[in-house]
Amino acid sequence: RLIDILPHSSEPKETNGHFLNFINAFVNMINHLPVNEQIMMPGGWKNPERHHIMLYIIRNVGGGKYSFTVVNAGSDGLEYHASRFDETSGRHLKNIALTIWDIPGNRVLDSSFWTALFHMQVYSSKKHDAQMLYARLLPVLNSKPLRANLELGPADFFLPPDPKVAASYFDLVLIGFSTTPQVGAQSSQLSMLNVMKAACEIAYRTIANAPPSSMDPEDTRVLRLSGRNLSNFASSLGAEAAKDEGLLPSLKSVWDLLDTFLRA
């Protein structure tokens, strides 16, 4: 697997050869990436003070073009992601999954970009920071300012997670698995709703036939809390999700699941 050969040591003697092998394997994988398929990889940067974690998504959108998405839930770098205020709650939302659109195939097959990008993640340097990633590297992909990409494809906005939560991969992976960076794709908000619903369904399925005596009040409290979180997220879906034809069937199945939880 590709992730297995991504070096994690910053010792040059141990890392350099493995790093070059990884870059070659990664570029080769992109070169053979089928249309409408994507690769998700851990990303970020490392400097003497800290290690900032992110996720990267590279997608072959067809026609010789690609998209590249940076999923960033931490505080560093979010200033480069577009913002929006929720009209109902007034909360400050961010385009956590920032996508670079309309990338020519020759750009994503240029190993020099990936070398510079993953060098930030593997090797520690004072130069590795948000400015290097967002202001220097990302605009190279399609020769456009970052904000210009908002006009080229869909963008979903989320409430940034708590900094302590953002220090782990949980929210990053949830958003990453829910993101399909392609024009006309299902909104990531609706995809996230379906992922959360599926997780709750799997959890409930494991205890659906359990005898009442085997469950204590804490078990049912956890179930109801999960249902409440799912309900809160479903009620906060934005305008992008409302345009999706799959929204109503998904909401109906969510309410049916919540009804099951309440009866548990």
Give burial (CB, 10 Å; 0-12/13-18/19+) of 38: buried
Distance CA 130, CA 65 (A): 26
Q: Give the range with max mean pLDDT: 13-27, 91-105, 197-211, 218-232.
A: 91-105
Distance CA 103, CA 165 (A): 32
Q: Is the pLDDT of residue 6 over 80?
A: no
Can you give the pLDDT at residue 24? 92
Question: Helices 247-263 & 217-235, crossing angle to 10 degrees?
Answer: 160
Question: If pLDDT is split at 50, 70 and 90, which confidence band does 138 have?
Answer: very high
Distance CA 117, CA 122 (A): 9
User: 149, 134 in Cβ contact below 8 A?
Assistant: no
pLDDT per residue over 57-106, tens digit each? 999 999 999 999 999 988 789 999 999 887 777 778 889 999 999 999 99
Question: If pLDDT is split at 50, 70 and 90, which confidence band does 213 have?
Answer: low
Instruction: Calculate ∠ Cα 74-76-77, nearest 5°.
Output: 105
Question: If pLDDT is split at 50, 70 and 90, which confidence band does 212 have?
Answer: low
Q: Which residues contact 205 (CB under 8 A, 6 or more apart)?
A: none
User: 26, 53 in Cβ contact below 8 A?
Assistant: no
Can you give the pLDDT at residue 248? 66
Q: What is the mean pLDDT of residues 42-71?
A: 93
Cβ atoms within 10 Å of 48's Cβ, excluding its own: 8
Least confident window among 105-109, 193-197, 248-252? 248-252
Q: What is the mean pLDDT of residues 18-34?
A: 92
Strand locations in the chain, DSSP E? Answer: 38-46, 51-62, 65-71, 83-85, 92-94, 97-104
Checking phi first, is residue 44 left (phi over 0); if not, alpha (psi -120 to 50) or beta? left
Specify the long-range contacts of residues 26-30, CB closer than 8 Å, at least 24 apart: 26/2, 26/114, 26/118, 27/109, 27/111, 27/114, 29/2, 30/58, 30/60, 30/66, 30/108, 30/109
Structure tokens at 50: 């800290």
Q: What is the pTM of this model?
A: 0.79
Structure tokens at 80: 């480069």
